[in-house]
Amino acid sequence: MSANQTVDFPMNSSLSSVRTTDKEKSDTQGPYKATSSIAQIQLVNSHLEVYDPSDDSFVLVDALLADRARLIEHQPKICLEVGCGSGYVITSLALMLQEEAPRIHYFATDINLHAVATTRGTLEAHGVHAEVVATDIASGLQRRLAGLVDVIVVNPPYVPTPEEEVACEGITASWAGGENGRRVIDRILPVADELLSERGWLYMVILAENNPLEICRRMGEKGYGSKIVLQRSTQEERLQVIKFWREGAAAGLPREGSRGGSSTSESWLSHFPLFSFLRKGENGG
C-alpha cells in the first residue's frame, strides 16, 4: 500500500493501551518501534457534561497512530488540541510521541470548563503534561502561539443541527455544528491558519455531510495541501480524518510528503472520483 492511499481501518474494538495499526507497521520498518502507547480508557476521566471518547475520538487517535512515524520525523515543538473533551486525544498524542520526541510542549483548549478539568485529570492519570486552557477555540492563546504550532488536532462538533443549538453550554457543545455541521469548523480553520507554523500540520475529523471537498478547496486557496489519512464508517456516520499542510513550506524544512508521501498532485482532492475526472478533463487526458 502506498503512503498516500486512503486507509480504511475496522471499527475500534480494542480498549488496549497499546495498538499497532497495519499502516504503522509499514511505517515503522524504519527507525521507530512498531508499538506505542495511547491513553487507557479506564484512566480517562469522565463527567456527565463532557464528551466521552467515542468512534470519532478513536478514528482521530488511529489516524495519528497511522501517521506516527511521520510525526516523529517532523519533530514538532508545539502541539495543540482544540476541543479536548475528556483529554483522550491529547493524552494519546503525548504518549505515542513521548519516547522519540520527548521535548514537545502540548496545549489543549475547550470551551467547556468541565472538559478542561477532565482533561487535566486524564493527563495526570497518564503521567503526561499539557497546558489546558478554557477558551473559545484558541482565543486565549492566539497572540502567544501565532505561527508557532507544528501540529493541531481537532475533533470538532460536526453534527448538522438547528443553529440555535450551536454554542450551547456543556455536552451539547460537543456535537452541535449548526447548518451542515460547519459552524464551528468554519471558525476553527482561519484560527488554525494563524497558529500553524511554516511547516504546520492540521488533522481534523470531518463528516461526509460537512462537505469535505469544499473545506479542502477553501484551505487550498490559503495554500494548503490535504489528504485523507483515515476514513471509517460507523452505523450512523462516515468519518474522515483529513490532514492539511502548507504547500509552500520553507525549503529545507521537513514537510508532509518528504517520506515519499503526498505532493500537490497526490492531494486529498485526488481521492474524489469527480475531481479526478475534472482534472483529467483539464489535462486533456
Ligand X SMILES: C[S@@+](CC[C@H](N)C(=O)[O-])C[C@H]1O[C@@H](n2cnc3c(N)ncnc32)[C@H](O)[C@@H]1O
**Which region, judged by CB under 6 A, interacts with ligand X, from 66-74, 85-93, 217-225, 242-250?**
85-93
Helical residues (DSSP H) of the chain, grouped into ranges: 22-27, 55-66, 68-74, 88-97, 113-126, 142-145, 183-195, 212-221, 273-282
Q: Please give the grid coordinates belonging to residue 157.
A: 462538533
Per-residue binding letters, 107-146, with ligand X (x by CB under 6 A): --xxxx--x--------------------xx---------
Q: For ligand X, how many residues bind (rule: CB under 6 A)?
A: 26
Q: Per CB under 6 A, does 39 bind ligand X?
A: no
Q: How far is the CB of 128 from ligand X (least distance, A)?
A: 16
Q: Which of residues 187-246 bind ligand X (CB under 6 A)?
A: none
How many C-beta atoms surround the C-beta of residue 168 within 10 A?
13
Q: How far is the CB of 252 from ligand X (least distance, A)?
A: 33
Q: Could you tell me if 205 and 239 are in contact, meaning their C-beta atoms sit under 8 angstroms apart?
A: yes
**Which region, judged by CB under 6 A, interacts with ligand X, from 32-40, 151-159, 208-216, 261-269?**
151-159
Q: CA 277 to CA 37: how far, in whole Å?
A: 41
Nearer to ligand X among residue 183 and residue 255 (C-beta):
183
Residue (of 7, 71, 2, 76) closest to 229 by Cα position = 7
Q: Could you tell me if 195 and 146 are in contact, meaning their C-beta atoms sit under 8 angstroms apart?
A: yes
Residues that bind ligand X (CB under 6 A): 51, 53, 56-57, 60, 82-86, 88-89, 109-112, 115, 136-137, 155-157, 173-175, 184
